[in-house]
Amino acid sequence: MRILGIDPALSITGYGIIDEKARGLSLVGAGVVQTRAAHALPERLAVIYREITRIVQDFNPDCMVLEKLYVHYRHPTTSYILGQARGIICLVCAQKELSFFEYAATRVKKAIVGAGLASKAQVQRMVSGSLGLAQLPKYKDITDALALAIAHSYISRTAQEVMAKK
């Protein structure tokens, strides 16, 4: 199964694609989609739409995984803007008829590290180790996207094993 993890944001959206095979996980591709703050919101969302569409076409994933939206009461505007970027990404998912999954950040950390309150550094080390990376990705957004993809692999595999035992 090929899994596309996306860490959405308006400025820097990270993405990571992994293949899940019987022997383990392998990195297929990763990067960021960047927009410029000087551009109008519709233009920035259009860039995200075009680039995520291109990534889906180029890598042909079986599913897409996003982090569930967390709304902090002190930063409602940030959540609103993040929701717009997420909406554009979900639109691409629907248009390309990809299976869609979303997990809370604590669920991703629990799947990757074994602790829902794990630090960013712990998640980075586990992502690097799981994929055999020689060095950490340049952007934390890439690491977060890869963590989503890896977590989905672990979570779905566990669910399949449980169903097989029933």
Known catalytic residues are: 7, 67, 141
DSSP structure class, residue 139: S
Q: Which helix (H) or strand (E) holds 5?
A: strand 2-7
Which element (helix H / strand E) includes 48? Answer: helix 41-59
Token duo for residue 124: 């980075």
Beta bridge partners of 102: 66
Tokens 């602790």, located at residue: 115
CA 16/CA 149 separation, integer angstroms: 7
Burial class (CB in 10 A: 0-12, 13-18, 19+), 139: middle
Q: In the numeric block, which tokens belong to residue 55?
A: 């990534």
